[in-house]
Amino acid sequence: MIHRHTLARLAAELRARKLSSVELARAYLERIQASQPLLNAFISITAEQALAAASAADAALARGEGGALTGVPIGHKDLFCTAGVRTTCGSRMLENFVSPYDATVVSRLRASGAVMLGKLNMDEFAMGSSNETSYFGPVRNPWNTDLVPGGSSGGSAAAVCARLLPGATATDTGGSIRQPAALCGITGIKPTYGRVSRYGMIAFASSLDQGGVVTASAEDAALMLREMAGFDPRDSTSVDTPVPDYVAGLDAPLEGLKIGLLKEFFDAGLDPDNERCIREALAVFTRLGAKVREVSLPNISLSVPAYYVVAPAECSSNLARYDGVRFGHRCKEPRDLTDLYKRSRSEGFGAEVKRRIMTGTYVLSAGYYDAYYLKAQRVRQLIAADFQRAFAEVDVLMGPATPTAAFAIGAKTADPITMYLNDIYTISANLAGVPAMSVPCGFAQGLPVGLQMIGPHFAEQRLLHAAHRYQLETDWHLRIPERFA
């Protein structure tokens, strides 16, 4: 069955003319349409544009032209601007916003030949850990549709998990690639901050947001990331450093790799079945010649409180532009300018977004800036220093991506703090700006478990290599939920 093929295999078969891009696009579009009532993974399905792009891809391939991903179907998380296609950020505020330009990530993947099939559902403005805050309704986990897929990139993760797409773009501010990848049993990578352009990526927290990918395998992630990454002069946070060929060297042996086991991640909150899967995965790395030792990051326990000061502060600043004046939702018949602001924002934003805006405004206020925001930034530096010390001793840090497997829809919505703690193992990598990824490593009570890998700055190739070698020894990344097999 064609949908079971990896992105790398599809790209190779398209180049060899063993199948056509139009045929491929139609097959995936049929799966998307059939699954939409069940999973709600998409906000917009761009069938007409996709078939036109697929036809152009087939023509290019017939001429012996095309890029690395020519004809391969993908989807974009619905916060990457796409010219002529609405970009909603999962919010009523942008329900009818059609971008006049493409995000750099979108334009680079299009230049590589990838065919966009649609825009994927997400937590509103990327604020959430379960994909329940979307104005367009929750996304459901393909392994059990009563459960969440994780967030905020839940639509991307669910679509790849159910093989509605071989790969999709995603973003990670505090774990929003790795957490849904773990809960859905797929591969997801968050690159180093500044490695992938944020131009055209609608901002939540500008010093934390980073674009990445979710795919079935590490090889697929390497293929997509290679096309997306690189310096962009339109993004002031983009880093001008060469991008290696992430695909090259994936098969090299792991002999001598030094792995640091994150001591603080194996705490009382970690489910015993999740821990078992992580330790079994580490045994595979040991068998492949890696050396494992315990590593401590003493300030990592402060990640959650620091993050939930910094991220809301930046969110309150970024979302101030949505005022009902130039774009976005506008209330009807405002009495005056103040009424326009108040009602446009209260109608356009959901509860979680409002909560974070209010928190951010509070910590940035004159009387509390030093007590909260400035202190959180100092803690952030302590966490970054912990990572630097750790990477002086080991090559890669490993541990769980999430404390538990997927939880029920509605189980944590009444208690924001409990929801926030679901990101307890992922947030630190964003605060430090280092690359991190999650790969499937087993099942707990029939649900996927993710192994998290964290590397030093710009070590994406090292992470992808380790993940690929692990996946050559295991088949967790190839498991598909029965009803989508």
- Token pair 């605060």 is found at 431
Please report the pLDDT score of residue 268 as a whole number: 83
pLDDT tens column, 460-480: 999 999 999 999 999 999 999
Please report the pLDDT score of residue 255 as a whole number: 95
pLDDT tens column, 407-418: 999 999 988 888
Question: Is 108 a member of any domain?
Answer: yes
Bridge-based pairing of strands 167-172 and 187-190 is unpaired
**pLDDT exceeds 90 at position 422:** no
Q: How far apart are CA 382 and CA 403, in angstroms?
A: 23
Please report the pLDDT score of residue 384 as a whole number: 98
Please report the pLDDT score of residue 381 as a whole number: 97
**pLDDT exceeds 90 at position 313:** yes
Q: What is the band of 1 on the pLDDT scale with cuts at 50, 70, 90? A: confident
Please report the pLDDT score of residue 426 as a whole number: 98
Please report the pLDDT score of residue 428 as a whole number: 98
Which one is catalytic: 20, 35, 77, 428?
A: 77
Q: Where are the beta strands (DSSP E) in 232-383?
A: 258-262, 291-295
Question: Is 37 a member of any domain?
Answer: yes
Please report the pLDDT score of residue 415 as a whole number: 87
- The reply to whether 176 belongs to the active site is yes
Tell how many helices (H) and how many strands (E) occur in the chain.
Answer: 15, 11
| Boundaries of domain holding 115 | 2-256+465-484
- What is the percent of the chain where pLDDT is above 70? 100
pLDDT tens column, 387-410: 999 999 999 999 999 999 999 999
Question: Is 207 a member of any domain?
Answer: yes
Strand partners, 448: 443
DSSP 3-state assignment of 148? coil
**pLDDT exceeds 90 at position 305:** yes
Please report the pLDDT score of residue 452 as a whole number: 98
pTM of the model: 0.97
Q: What is the mean pLDDT of residues 13-31?
A: 97
Q: What is the mean pLDDT of residues 120-130?
A: 97
Which one is catalytic: 152, 238, 428, 438?
A: 152
Distance of alpha carbon 409 from the chain centroid: 20
Q: What is the band of 188 on the pLDDT scale with cuts at 50, 70, 90? A: very high
Q: What is the mean pLDDT of residues 165-169?
A: 98
pLDDT tens column, 99-124: 999 999 999 999 999 999 999 999 99
Total domains in the fold of the chain: 1
Longest dimension (CA), the chain: 70
Please report the pLDDT score of residue 282 as a whole number: 98
Report phi then psi at 188, rounded to 5: -140, 135
Question: Is 230 a member of any domain?
Answer: yes
Q: Which of the pair, 40 or 1, is modelled with greater confidence?
A: 40
The enclosing domain of 11 has a CATH number of: 3.90.1300.10
Q: What is the dihedral of CA 468, 474, 475, 477, to 10 degrees?
A: -40
391-413 burial code (b ≥16 CB/10 A, e <16): beebbbbbbbbbbbbbbebebbb
DSSP 3-state assignment of 179? helix
- The reply to whether 152 belongs to the active site is yes
Question: Is 250 a member of any domain?
Answer: yes
**pLDDT exceeds 90 at position 327:** no
Tokens of residue 120, six digits = 């994927």
> What does pLDDT average to over the chain?
97
Q: What is the mean pLDDT of residues 378-383?
A: 97
Q: How far apart are CA 295 and CA 115, in angstroms?
A: 43
Q: How far apart are CA 473 and CA 283, in angstroms?
A: 11
DSSP 3-state assignment of 254? coil
**pLDDT exceeds 90 at position 421:** no
